[in-house]
Amino acid sequence: MSETQVIDAHGEVIDDDKRDFIFIATGAAAAAGAALLAWPLVAQMGKAADTLAAGSVEIDLSKVAEGQQLKILWRGAPVFVRHRTAKEIAEAEGVDISDCPDPQTDDERLRPTPEGKLDPRFLVMIGVCTHFGCIPVGESGDFDGWYCPCHGSHYDTSGRIRKGPAPKNMAIPDYVYISDTVIKVG
């Protein structure tokens, strides 16, 4: 016997490996129990399904004249719905996206109509600058799209960042066409 055995007061051999296993198993069971107890508490902090369902809005595109922009509030953020002119569409489609900091084609920023076609006349996006969250001004800036006066970001007629400190294009919200003239955001 190269190892020395420790014997307790009752004459039983104390096995350190068994003791270590029992401590580790008890600790693991306690951690799992704490996680199971904490999960419902953390999960209840999220938005309920009925709240998310109520967080959608329908927009009648026929009310937005060509060259105009509708601004609505959706889930606490402004959403821009722009009825682009033929010139704005041509400018958006004519951009060499390799020159863009966040390359994305104009078609990638659109959603299909019920017939499965893209309608480039309507651009729907969250109207928040991706730099620090300011609200850009429409029909301005170096690219005739949007300009953020806070720090000088310039977006084109497709809402893509072209110049300035903003790292990404303005976000496109989840939306679908319910009909040819009505979209549902959210």
Cβ–Cβ < 8 Å for 138, 73: no
pLDDT tens for residues 12-54? 777 777 778 888 999 999 999 999 999 888 888 887 776 666 6
As a whole number, mean pLDDT of residues 157-163 equals: 94
What is the token pair recorded at 183? 């979209």
Which residues lie across from 58 on neighbouring strands?
A: 184
Q: Which pLDDT value is given to residue 10?
A: 78
Residue 79: how many CB atoms within 10 A of its CB? 23
Active site residue: 10, 131, 151, 154, which one? 151
Look up 154 and say whether it is catalytic: no
As a whole number, mean pLDDT of residues 166-180 equals: 93
The per-residue pLDDT of the chain, averaged, comes to: 89
What is the token pair recorded at 57? 């809005």
3-state secondary structure of 132: coil
Q: Which pLDDT value is given to residue 56?
A: 85
pLDDT band at 1 (very low <50, low <70, confident <90, very high): very low
Q: How far apart are CA 63 and CA 173, in angstroms?
A: 20
Q: Which pLDDT value is given to residue 48?
A: 74
Rg of the Cα trace of the chain?
29
Q: Note if the pTM is more than 0.85.
A: no
pLDDT of 179 over the 70 cut: yes
Q: How far apart are CA 73 and CA 185, in angstroms?
A: 11
As a whole number, mean pLDDT of residues 172-182 equals: 92
Residue 108: how many CB atoms within 10 A of its CB? 13
